[in-house]
Amino acid sequence: MERLSLATELKENAYPGRGIVIGRSKDGSKAVTAYFIMGRSENSRNRVFVEDGEGIRTQAFDPAKLSDPSLIIYAPVRVLGNKTIVTNGDQTDTIYELMDKQQTFEQALRTREFEPDAPNYTPRISGIMHVENGIYNYALSILKSNNGDPDSCNRFTFAYNNPAAGEGRFIHTYKCDGNPLPSFEGEPKMVEIDGDIDSFTEMVWNNLNEDNKVSLFVRFIDINSGEYETRIVNKNK
């Protein structure tokens, strides 16, 4: 599999929708994740990320303009012990609650499916990072309709043990812009992870489509100590 430039992947796609990147820093010492949201509608663009405990949640930037909170107001990031959960919907809570009851990431997601927003049936994308005693691994998941048919749900989980330094995987909800929006296809893309948290955050934000980007969350977790740094960028200020 070819290792792609994350900057190019973002720059050349006007509307990947929501995206999760998980990987390892170039020096090998940090577990890295990024989660971004984009929007085409006023309701979708009217959002900001705010810190919430060890995680984040989405919030309406202008509460007066919020028309339907059901699929856009949620906690994209939550931390359960040594696990960091990153998703594009309220399945974050499902994963948190069921893993807290000793179920696996996959078992938790079996209780959910793609979003009910016909005709797009937006995929639910999720990631989990496990950092413990200097050991790091992660997994990504996508739940999507069967090529636009809501009668079937297709479920895929990709697990990465001892990920290589300077490398990550990128999954996003939509293959590209369109009406209806086509779901992401194939394995998560192998992408380069470069720079420190500030240069990485800047690279991702600057390459997201100017009109459609809404918010970005980036976290670097020290694999040895478990300590982390976070950056949040919101277009709405």
Mean pLDDT by 10 residues, the chain (237 residues): 97 98 98 98 95 97 91 95 98 98 98 97 98 97 97 98 98 97 98 98 98 98 98 97
CA count, 13 A, side-chain hemisphere, 54 = 15
Q: How far is CA 137 from CA 72, 129, 159, 162, 189, in A?
A: 29, 6, 8, 5, 17
pLDDT at 223: 98
pTM: 0.98
pLDDT at 154: 98
Name the region of 81 (left: φ>0; alpha: ψ -120 to 50; beta: rest): left
Classify residue 186 as exposed, middle or buried by CB count within 10 Å of its CB (0-12, 13-18, 19+). Answer: exposed
pLDDT at 204: 98
- Give the domains, in start order, of the chain with CATH numbers: 6-234 (3.60.20.20)
pLDDT at 119: 97
pLDDT at 70: 87
